[in-house]
Protein backbone atom coordinates (compact mmCIF):
# COMPACT_ATOMS: atom_id res chain seq x y z
CA UNK A 1 0.00 0.00 0.00
CA UNK A 2 2.82 2.50 0.72
CA UNK A 3 4.11 1.96 -2.83
CA UNK A 4 0.72 2.84 -4.33
CA UNK A 5 0.47 5.91 -2.11
CA UNK A 6 3.97 6.98 -3.09
CA UNK A 7 3.24 6.45 -6.82
CA UNK A 8 -0.05 8.34 -6.55
CA UNK A 9 1.72 11.19 -4.76
CA UNK A 10 4.35 11.43 -7.52
CA UNK A 11 1.68 11.42 -10.25
CA UNK A 12 -0.32 14.15 -8.50
CA UNK A 13 2.82 16.19 -7.90
CA UNK A 14 3.79 15.95 -11.58
CA UNK A 15 0.26 16.85 -12.67
CA UNK A 16 0.45 19.93 -10.46
CA UNK A 17 3.68 20.98 -12.17
CA UNK A 18 2.26 20.82 -15.68
CA UNK A 19 2.56 24.07 -17.56
CA UNK A 20 0.95 25.36 -20.67
CA UNK A 21 1.64 28.15 -23.14
CA UNK A 22 -1.39 29.71 -24.84
CA UNK A 23 -0.37 31.36 -28.13
CA UNK A 24 -2.79 33.79 -29.80
CA UNK A 25 -2.58 36.46 -32.47
CA UNK A 26 -5.16 39.25 -32.92
CA UNK A 27 -5.47 41.32 -36.09
CA UNK A 28 -7.14 44.76 -36.01
CA UNK A 29 -7.72 47.14 -38.90
CA UNK A 30 -8.68 50.74 -39.38
CA UNK A 31 -11.46 50.80 -40.49
CA UNK A 32 -12.67 47.63 -38.75
CA UNK A 33 -14.59 44.89 -40.49
CA UNK A 34 -11.96 43.73 -42.97
CA UNK A 35 -11.79 40.02 -43.85
CA UNK A 36 -8.63 38.49 -42.38
CA UNK A 37 -6.93 35.68 -44.28
CA UNK A 38 -3.92 34.03 -42.60
CA UNK A 39 -1.82 31.65 -44.71
CA UNK A 40 -4.67 31.45 -47.23
CA UNK A 41 -7.31 30.53 -44.62
CA UNK A 42 -10.21 32.90 -43.83
CA UNK A 43 -10.16 33.68 -40.11
CA UNK A 44 -12.97 36.21 -39.75
CA UNK A 45 -13.53 39.94 -39.74
CA UNK A 46 -11.43 42.41 -37.77
CA UNK A 47 -10.89 42.34 -34.94
CA UNK A 48 -10.07 38.66 -35.52
CA UNK A 49 -8.09 36.29 -33.31
CA UNK A 50 -6.44 32.95 -33.95
CA UNK A 51 -4.75 30.49 -31.62
CA UNK A 52 -1.55 29.05 -33.03
CA UNK A 53 0.84 26.26 -32.13
CA UNK A 54 4.02 27.03 -34.06
CA UNK A 55 6.04 30.21 -34.26
CA UNK A 56 7.23 31.46 -37.63
CA UNK A 57 6.26 33.76 -40.48
CA UNK A 58 2.58 34.10 -41.37
CA UNK A 59 1.09 35.73 -44.47
CA UNK A 60 -1.79 38.00 -43.48
CA UNK A 61 -4.20 39.51 -46.01
CA UNK A 62 -6.84 42.11 -45.19
CA UNK A 63 -9.69 42.54 -47.68
CA UNK A 64 -12.48 45.13 -47.53
CA UNK A 65 -14.74 46.54 -50.22
CA UNK A 66 -13.66 50.03 -51.25
CA UNK A 67 -10.13 49.57 -49.83
CA UNK A 68 -6.86 48.29 -51.21
CA UNK A 69 -6.07 44.68 -50.30
CA UNK A 70 -3.22 44.68 -47.83
CA UNK A 71 -0.77 41.78 -47.57
CA UNK A 72 1.78 41.62 -44.75
CA UNK A 73 4.20 38.98 -43.52
CA UNK A 74 4.21 38.70 -39.73
CA UNK A 75 7.29 37.26 -38.09
CA UNK A 76 6.03 35.56 -34.94
CA UNK A 77 9.29 34.87 -33.15
CA UNK A 78 9.43 32.57 -30.18
CA UNK A 79 10.10 34.27 -26.83
CA UNK A 80 13.15 33.14 -24.87
CA UNK A 81 11.19 30.65 -22.75
CA UNK A 82 9.93 28.91 -25.93
CA UNK A 83 13.37 28.19 -27.39
CA UNK A 84 15.06 24.81 -27.12
CA UNK A 85 15.64 23.37 -24.49
CA UNK A 86 13.66 25.77 -22.26
CA UNK A 87 10.44 25.11 -24.20
CA UNK A 88 10.16 21.64 -22.66
CA UNK A 89 10.03 23.12 -19.16
CA UNK A 90 7.68 26.01 -19.99
CA UNK A 91 5.30 23.68 -21.85
CA UNK A 92 5.33 20.83 -19.34
CA UNK A 93 6.84 21.54 -15.95
CA UNK A 94 6.42 25.21 -15.12
CA UNK A 95 3.33 24.71 -12.99
CA UNK A 96 1.36 27.64 -14.38
CA UNK A 97 -0.16 28.87 -17.62
CA UNK A 98 1.65 31.40 -19.78
CA UNK A 99 -0.16 33.57 -22.30
CA UNK A 100 1.69 34.76 -25.41
CA UNK A 101 -0.78 37.17 -27.03
CA UNK A 102 0.33 39.26 -30.02
CA UNK A 103 -1.70 42.22 -31.32
CA UNK A 104 -1.27 43.77 -34.77
CA UNK A 105 -3.02 46.81 -36.22
CA UNK A 106 -3.12 47.70 -39.90
CA UNK A 107 -4.45 50.79 -41.62
CA UNK A 108 -6.27 50.19 -44.89
CA UNK A 109 -6.00 52.70 -47.72
CA UNK A 110 -9.07 53.68 -49.77
CA UNK A 111 -9.08 52.15 -53.23
CA UNK A 112 -7.83 54.56 -55.88
CA UNK A 113 -9.57 54.50 -59.24
CA UNK A 114 -7.19 53.23 -61.85
CA UNK A 115 -6.92 56.20 -64.23
CA UNK A 116 -4.76 54.32 -66.74
CA UNK A 117 -7.43 51.65 -67.20
CA UNK A 118 -10.10 54.30 -67.68
CA UNK A 119 -7.99 56.11 -70.29
CA UNK A 120 -7.27 52.86 -72.17
CA UNK A 121 -10.94 51.92 -72.17
CA UNK A 122 -11.92 55.38 -73.44
CA UNK A 123 -9.27 55.15 -76.18
CA UNK A 124 -10.57 51.78 -77.35
CA UNK A 125 -14.09 53.17 -77.42
CA UNK A 126 -13.00 56.16 -79.53
CA UNK A 127 -11.05 53.89 -81.91
CA UNK A 128 -14.08 51.66 -82.34
CA UNK A 129 -16.29 54.67 -83.06
CA UNK A 130 -13.80 56.00 -85.62
CA UNK A 131 -13.54 52.62 -87.40
CA UNK A 132 -17.27 52.07 -87.53
CA UNK A 133 -18.14 55.65 -88.47
CA UNK A 134 -20.33 56.61 -85.57
From CA 2, how far away is CA 22, in angstroms rounded? 38
Q: pTM here?
A: 0.66
Using 50, 70 and 90 to split pLDDT, how confident is the model at 49? very high
Residue 84 pLDDT > 70: yes
pLDDT digits (tens, 9 = 90+) for 98-128: 889 999 999 999 988 766 677 888 888 888 8
pLDDT digits (tens, 9 = 90+) for 55-75: 999 999 999 999 999 999 999
- 62: exposed, middle or buried (Cβ count in 10 Å: 0-12, 13-18, 19+): buried
19-112: CATH topology: Immunoglobulin-like (2.60.40)
Amino acid sequence: MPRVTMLLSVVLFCAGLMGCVHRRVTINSEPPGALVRIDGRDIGYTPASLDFTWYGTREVQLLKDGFETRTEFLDLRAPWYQKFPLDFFSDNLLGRHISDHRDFRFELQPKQSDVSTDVMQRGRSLRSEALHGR
